[in-house]
Amino acid sequence: GQQLNQSPQSMFIQEGEDVSMNCTSSSIFNTWLWYKQDPGEGPVLLIALYKAGELTSNGRLTAQFGITRKDSFLNISASIPSDVGIYFCAGQFDAGGTSYGKLTFGQGTILTVHP
């Protein structure tokens, strides 16, 4: 089945620094989603990407859908303490039938921001 490799597994940065994380897949997706999960909460959708090559921003967050459709990255600029959490990428490939809407998740990137 499809597998997602997300890196890095964890990051320790100073407030104000920029952050970059990425996901690569063994097969193509037609949608990439990026989520943030705080302790004790469900994942919150940050950015959704629908087209190969698409670059989308949401405030200090920028994400891109790779040209090959097998990768995506998320950048956070000028990090702040509330950026702390676990970031997950998720890929979706709607081939119809039983695969419709199914998300495959990366392993997550744990972000720690030191004030």
Partner 1 sequence: SAVISQKPSRDICQRGTSLTIQCQVDSQVTMMFWYRQQPGQSLTLIATANQGSEATYESGFVIDKFPISRPNLTFSTLTVSNMSPEDSSIYLCSVRDGLSYEQYFGPGTRLTVT
List the one residue from 27, 45, 53, 112 that touches partner 1 (CB under 8 A).
Answer: 45
Q: Which of 20, 5, 1 lies closest to 107 in space, CA to CA? A: 5
Count of residues interacting with partner 1 (CB under 8 A) = 25
- HSE-CB at 75 with a 13 A cutoff on CA atoms is 12
The reply to whether 44 sits near partner 1 by the rule CB under 8 A is: yes
Answer yes or no whether residue 96 interacts with partner 1 by CB under 8 A: no
Q: Does 101 bind partner 1 (CB under 8 A)?
A: yes
Q: Minimal distance in Å, beta carbon 91 to partner 1?
A: 12
- The C-alpha atoms of residue 55 and residue 52 are separated, in whole angstroms, by 9
